[in-house]
Structure 1
């Protein structure tokens, strides 16, 4: 099948596949960490990324939407979103494409499918670690996000409801936003 004919769809994740879905997501995030820190001794000693607790928190959060990203009937990735129907300020908690599908434009097509599935969105927001150059490139150069804030020790991220603040660990994250253009219905 040629690239022009590749169709990305979003589908609910069957309950019985959530554990496999989580493992695939953690594997994709761990690959990004390993690619960024090749000289590190063993980044897997840190445990899974996202942690089981972070993943469960995202799955059970208010307005959480979990979808698998499907290409020709095969799951190639997944996304966990928070969709706020009142404000339409929506958040991407996790978005991943399997490493075997990287570099083929499928991530961009997946993002386009996400936007199409939630057309009422006014603003998309997400966070990514400062070292994830591949993610930063993808969100800024491929998807049209803008970096709007940098969280670090001197400018910590506000506490999120239900999450414990990180004490001794230093995390540096970018916060991204994409303001969606609204098409006027007037002629």
Structure 2
């Protein structure tokens, strides 16, 4: 595959609803592969997606291979610290296993060459994602969030003993990739 044919094109405001639907359909397809049944709520939730879309430094892009749209990505770029994050990343299922994910990641890295650290998260059961980030893209697992080690930022899980939500069952890995700075 010629990675130079991967292009990241801006998502317009008018396209956000379709982009969100395509993202949720792709993530749902991955869940169907892992589990025979799951809740009827969209994955990720509308609230989580909207939070990523509206975050400071959010960059929302379609992924094109030549003239064909093959997925999408939401990045968070911090121009001050250059500690950037990959918030949402999807390749349509019909394009899985063809090298598009890695070619896209290389394009992202080339687009943001000043990045010092990339970070992302993925659910513990997403073995394909874990393989991709660690073995293909060079990320390292730096943290495992679970009921005994909850997220400590503004999305922190509730520690209220009266909270009956099931968020403590969410388990995911945090990945980081420290970039080698060219001098």
**Aligned equivalents of 2:103 and 2:117: distance in 1?**
19
Residue aligning to 2:33? 35
- Where 1:48 maps in the other structure, the secondary structure is coil
Whether 1:129 and 2:123 are equivalent positions in the alignment is: yes
Residue aligning to 2:109? 115
Say what the alpha-carbon RMSD is for the aligned residues.
Answer: 1.5
Residue aligning to 1:12? 10
Residue aligning to 2:42? 48
Deviation (angstroms), 1:35? 1.0
Deviation (angstroms), 1:5? 7.3
- Where 1:49 maps in the other structure, the secondary structure is coil
- Where 2:114 maps in the other structure, the secondary structure is coil
Alpha-carbon displacement from aligned partner over 1:123-171 (angstroms, at most 9, x marks no partner): 00000000000000000111000001111111111132xx473643211
**Aligned equivalents of 2:31 and 2:87: distance in 1?**
17
Residue aligning to 2:182? 183
Deviation (angstroms), 1:20? 1.0
**Aligned equivalents of 1:124 and 1:16: distance in 2?**
29
Deviation (angstroms), 1:4? 3.5
Alpha-carbon displacement from aligned partner over 1:6-44 (angstroms, at most 9, x marks no partner): 61010101222111111111111111111111xx3x32x
Aligned in 2, Cα 1:5/1:131: closer, same or farther, shift over 3 Å?
Answer: closer
Aligned in 2, Cα 1:50/1:183: closer, same or farther, shift over 3 Å?
Answer: same
- Stretches of structure 1 lacking an aligned partner (at least 5 in a row): none
**Aligned equivalents of 2:66 and 2:78: distance in 1?**
30
Aligned residues: 176
Q: TM-score, normalised by structure 1?
A: 0.89
Residue aligning to 2:133? 139
Q: TM-score, normalised by structure 2?
A: 0.91
**Aligned equivalents of 1:116 and 1:34: distance in 2?**
33
